[in-house]
Amino acid sequence: MQDYYTKGKILEIDKKDFFVNVDDNLKMTFNNEYLRYPVGPAAGPHTQLAQNLLAAYLTGARFFELKTVQVIDGAEMRSMIEKPCIDVKNAGYNVEWSTELTVEEAADEYIKGSVLLQVMAVELGLSDIKDFVFNISVGYTLEGIQSKKISEFIDNLKNAENTEIFKECKKVLKENISKFKRFRLEDIDKISSEITNTVTLSTMHGAKPEEILDIVKYLITDKKINTFIKCNPTLLGYENVRKVLDNSGYDDIVIRKEDFEQDLKFDMAVEIVRKLKRLGKENSVFVGIKLTNTLPVYNSRKILPGESMYLSGKPLYPIAMGVAEMFAESFDGDIHISLSGGIDKNNAASVLKTGIAPLTISTLLLKPGGYKNLKSILDKVSQEHMEFNKIDVDAVKEVADHAKNDGNYKNKGDGRYLKDTLPTYDCFKVNCGICVDVCPNRANMRVYDDRFSSAYQIVHIENRCNECDNCHTFCTRGGFPYLKKVTLFENAEEFENSDNTGFLKIEGGKFQLRDEDKNEYVYDMNESGKDKKSIEKLLEKMISDYPYLVK
């Protein structure tokens, strides 16, 4: 709020880029919850932290597929994900998995995120009622999902009223209520503790086809929670997928028959969904499908580590629509389909008009523009008037056929890879900030300081960064902002484990500094002279303009 009222921005998103329409053209009732716009981020880097959820909400997202949790979590999961983990120069590739937080930490982030969105919606005049939906995601085995850790996660997200984090959120709001301009004390009691009533079962990373039925039965009958089954693009079949990729010019993408052979087959998927729809009806809960997961491919690029990686983005769009067509026909439109895979402003309206909703997005949000790319979609689709009752089979077939030859989804190539010429300061004489926009975690920020040759400097916030490398991919100087830019460290461990130029607050109001020449020293603001180093100037600016970060 301090940034909003003094600088006209929140989390490095300018007020002019907020999506502020509040019409009901696209409203839908989603499992008995009001959903203003059925568009938002997919489970992934944009739905892991509370600040990510707010950044997406500000730019128009109202449906959030929260990052998947499983029994393997925290430090164990982080050790299994090699870095860098994201490559979206053209098509999207990743070697990510489920959340890198512990399950308990993830629950805290999601609860904080729900409260944060409800509060800021009122404060910013975006909505006086809860107008968004959170959809949790779990994987990947029956034993894991039945474990105490995941069982409690689901229960706490269904209703967080008795969780410590929800109580703490309300306490913090009461203590700081005088800082708000529109949000009132009585609004605190209106905050819903019901974070979600819908779960998605992710069927990748070791999920056995024969277990899917039993997992969803457990979610329906034991947890009494509405359930999406997230299906894989392999359902389209190896030959069909290969044909789609070649037709779109992605002949460099190497898919493997064994990935298709060991996965769930379409006929079995239809049989499972039919059974579970009946079971859901008997238990008064909803069952639908989510299309699609990412596609496992051979790592032929060698930009990311490992032998395998997962494909997303533009080439996945005609594949996902192909799977949607198969399901729509098999169920004669009587099936609820949510879709992810290459959704952008060129296809969102036509897909929604088929009755497929909600739509979720990931790769596009990692491209230049970042979260602001959501606004470009909402600006276009929010002018439409749609109703979401039953899938229009003919419309799905038409959109799927068009997707196969749509020039927007042809291979445009990677473009140039640039030599690294990124300096610590003054990377451009104008306000570039691409590394700020493409970071899902808001780990890079623009800091205005006209004492430098370039008025805008980039400061990196270490404890928000998971070294995905996306800011490097799009750096116009070919560099690594998360390694090269002045870094704000939260604790001594972060400082000692990094070579970055940066600063750390220590006792007595002093700071531990490491300058661009790797000299380390203790700096006292009160005893500093007139001739300040660049890092000292930037620290001074951070203390002045962002005191809540330098504390």
Count of beta carbons in the 10 Å neighbourhood of residue 171: 11
CA distances (Å), 247 to each of 233, 236, 259, in order? 17, 15, 21
pLDDT for res 509: 85
Count of beta carbons in the 10 Å neighbourhood of residue 394: 12
- CA atoms of 399 and 351, how far apart (whole Å): 7
* pLDDT at residue 463 is higher than 90: yes
Grouping H, G, I as helix, E, B as strand and the rest as coil, residue 444 is: strand
Query: Angle formed by the axes of helices 103-123 and 148-158, to 10°?
Result: 10
* pLDDT at residue 181 is higher than 80: yes
Taking all residues of the chain, what is their mean pLDDT, rounded to a whole number?
A: 95
Count of beta carbons in the 10 Å neighbourhood of residue 164: 10
- CA atoms of 172 and 273, how far apart (whole Å): 44
Q: Which residues of 485-513 are buried (b: 16+ CB within 10 A; e: fewer)?
A: bbbbbeeeebbeebebbbbbbeeeeebbb
- CA atoms of 25 and 203, how far apart (whole Å): 33
Query: Angle formed by the axes of helices 103-123 and 50-58, to 10°?
Result: 30
CA distances (Å), 426 to each of 39, 443, 452, 484, 511, in order? 37, 18, 7, 12, 23
Residues near 71 by beta carbon (within 8 Å), at least 6 away in sequence = 103, 144, 147, 149, 150
3-class SS string, 54-67: HHHHHCCCCEEECC
- Give bridge partners of residue 338 from the DSSP assignment: 290
pLDDT for res 435: 97
Place of tokens 């890092």: 535
Grouping H, G, I as helix, E, B as strand and the rest as coil, residue 40 is: strand
pLDDT for res 251: 96
* pLDDT at residue 460 is higher than 90: yes
Percent of the chain with pLDDT over 90: 91
- CA atoms of 196 and 111, how far apart (whole Å): 10
* pLDDT at residue 208 is higher than 90: no
Place of tokens 């439409």: 384
- Residue-wise pLDDT tens digits, 340-380: 999 999 999 999 999 999 999 999 999 999 999 999 999 99
H-assigned helices in 194-346: 209-221, 238-247, 257-261, 266-282, 316-330
Query: Angle formed by the axes of helices 316-330 and 266-282, to 10°?
Result: 60
H or E segment to which residue 214 belongs: helix 209-221
* pLDDT at residue 430 is higher than 90: no
pLDDT for res 531: 85
Residues near 170 by beta carbon (within 8 Å), at least 6 away in sequence = 115, 188, 191
pLDDT for res 389: 85
- Residue-wise pLDDT tens digits, 39-48: 999 999 999 9
Q: Per-residue confidence at 203, pLDDT binned at 50, 70, 90?
A: confident
- CA atoms of 472 and 462, how far apart (whole Å): 15
Amino acid at residue number 92: G
Domains, the chain, in order of start with CATH, read 16-409 (3.20.20.70), 434-545 (no CATH)
Amino acid at residue number 159: N
Q: Which two tokens stand for residue 74?
A: 């925290």
Cβ contact 426:484 at 8 Å: no
- Residue-wise pLDDT tens digits, 497-523: 999 999 999 998 899 999 999 999 999
- CA atoms of 118 and 136, how far apart (whole Å): 18
Residues 261-268: what's their mean pLDDT? 92
Cβ contact 544:456 at 8 Å: no
* pLDDT at residue 206 is higher than 70: no
Q: Which two tokens stand for residue 454?
A: 């370039």
Cβ contact 223:380 at 8 Å: no
Q: Which two tokens stand for residue 140?
A: 């990947």
If you count them, how many residues does the chain have? 551
pLDDT for res 268: 93
Least confident of 24-33, 78-87, 112-121, 198-207: 198-207
**DSSP character at residue 443:** -
Q: What is the pTM of this model?
A: 0.96
How big is the CA angle at 433 (ends 432 and 435), to the nearest 5 degrees?
A: 130
Q: What phi, psi does 183 have (nearest 5°)?
A: -70, 130
pLDDT for res 526: 81
CA 73 to chain centre: 18
Cβ contact 476:420 at 8 Å: no
- CA atoms of 340 and 55, how far apart (whole Å): 19
* pLDDT at residue 210 is higher than 90: no
Q: Per-residue confidence at 205, pLDDT binned at 50, 70, 90?
A: low
pLDDT for res 518: 96
* pLDDT at residue 193 is higher than 80: yes
